[in-house]
Amino acid sequence: MEGWPVPRRTSTFHDWPYSGPARKCFHAWIVNLTPPGPDHCIHDCAYCYARHAVYTRARAGRLQVYSNLPELIERDLDRIRLCPPFSISNTTDPCQAVPAVLRETRRVVDLLVRRGPSFSMTTKGDPAFLLDVDGFCEFPRKSVAITIEGPAEVLRLVSPGAPPYSKRVEALRRMAAEKVPVIVRLDPVILPLWRALYGDGWKSELAGVLSDFAGAGAVHVVCSTGRLSMAGPRPSMFGRLQEIVGRLSPEIAREIKADYAYSREYTSEGYLLKKPLRLAFHKLARECAQARGLTYATCQETHAGETDTPGLPHCEGVRLPFTLKGPDGVFRPVEGCGANCHVECRGRAPPCGRRSLVTTEPLRISRLR
């Protein structure tokens, strides 16, 4: 499939849209390679959050790809002195096997390597094409996260349009071999599905995938048990997953609603695995991860002190600092910064000198000039 190029009309700059004391996300500059919406990613994952967000429900009829992102980013970089880490692409996969997507991802990464801001990327695809970008391997302020939602049987059910388990682990291994810090997003773990597939053996499966991740060179695992929606297009996210479980175990499918409860905790609304079940799972997963040399954190469904490995800069695990622009236009790291301003710099002088950044409110570009 070839993507259809479309220009983006506005600045790419926005931070994670979360605020309040439960925010776990560091400040970031989020760049999406495509417009939001179900037509712009070929993976068609059963739990796709982007598919069910209100702002993504319009159908475009074809896969569109922004064609002018580096130009827009560079324009904003020229307007600011202090730059947060970039997060590349959060509504659709930046490494999906669509030539136009890969081309634009490469152009964005090439710009960031040349200009110097920190950056991270999350994908189910193969980011190995970035190894040919001049300076990418040597660039010190980057990380790549590979989403692997569970064992091979889980992936075949929840993300059949994405690469299979073996390909994702191999992508992880290849990036790690080039000294790229690699994270695994074990996210989301749909526990009723694991129970339907493996019965009481699901804990052994969990230990097995964590051993695979560690053996392939991952340094950190980010995990969630999902925030499921009953709203949006039919079948809803919750409904799609319930149907998948029901084909394996009608009994477990009938029990799903009893295991989840509606919540507006943390950053958004949806159905979360009930807290005792959630905490028990994450504590087990953290123990398994740490026993294999991995650090562990949860994504927006527990407090850091409940389930995360102590001492992490934030839930993504890899420290990515703000950067400061020099006279040559190149951004260099702010020493002592981890970008998690509302946690690290609360009650102390920020190393960047910007007290206005010590907030859980989403970052505005006007604060960076």
Per-residue pLDDT 10s for the chain (369 aa) are: 788 999 999 999 999 988 888 888 999 999 999 988 778 899 989 998 766 554 554 566 789 999 999 999 999 999 999 999 999 988 899 999 999 999 999 999 999 999 999 999 999 999 999 999 999 999 999 999 999 999 999 999 999 999 999 999 999 999 999 999 999 999 999 999 999 999 999 999 999 999 999 999 999 999 999 999 888 778 889 999 999 999 999 999 999 989 999 988 777 788 999 999 999 999 999 999 999 999 999 998 999 999 999 999 999 999 999 999 999 999 999 999 999 999 999 999 999 999 999 999 999 999 999
User: What single-letter amino acid sits at 334?
Assistant: V
User: Which of the 8 DSSP states describes residue 358?
Assistant: -
Name the residue among 285, 281, 284, 259 with its Cα closest to residue 272: 259
Q: Positive or negative CA dihedral for 356, 362, 368, 369?
A: negative
Find the helix or strand (DSSP H, E) in which 102 lies.
helix 99-115
What pLDDT does 54 receive?
Answer: 47
The tally of CA atoms less than 13 A away on the side-chain side of residue 55 is 3
User: What single-letter amino acid sits at 133?
Assistant: V
**CB contact at 8 A, 325 and 81:** yes
Q: To 10 degrees, what angle do helices 191-198 and 250-259 make?
A: 150
Output phi, psi for 2, to 5 deg: -110, 135
**∠ CA 332-147-103 to the nearest 5 degrees?**
60
According to CATH, what is the number of the domain 144-319? 3.80.30.30
Report helix, strand or coil for 313.
coil
Question: Which part of the chain has CATH 3.80.30.30?
Answer: 144-319
User: What single-letter amino acid sits at 155?
Assistant: L
Name the residue among 366, 324, 326, 369 with its Cα closest to residue 15: 366
Q: 31 - beta bridge partners?
A: 88
Both tokens assigned to 328? 């040559």
Both tokens assigned to 243? 């149907």
Distance CA 123, CA 142 (A): 14
Distance CA 228, CA 261 (A): 10
Cβ-based neighbour number of residue 113 at 10 Å: 20
Find the helix or strand (DSSP H, E) in which 101 lies.
helix 99-115
**CB contact at 8 A, 41 and 34:** yes
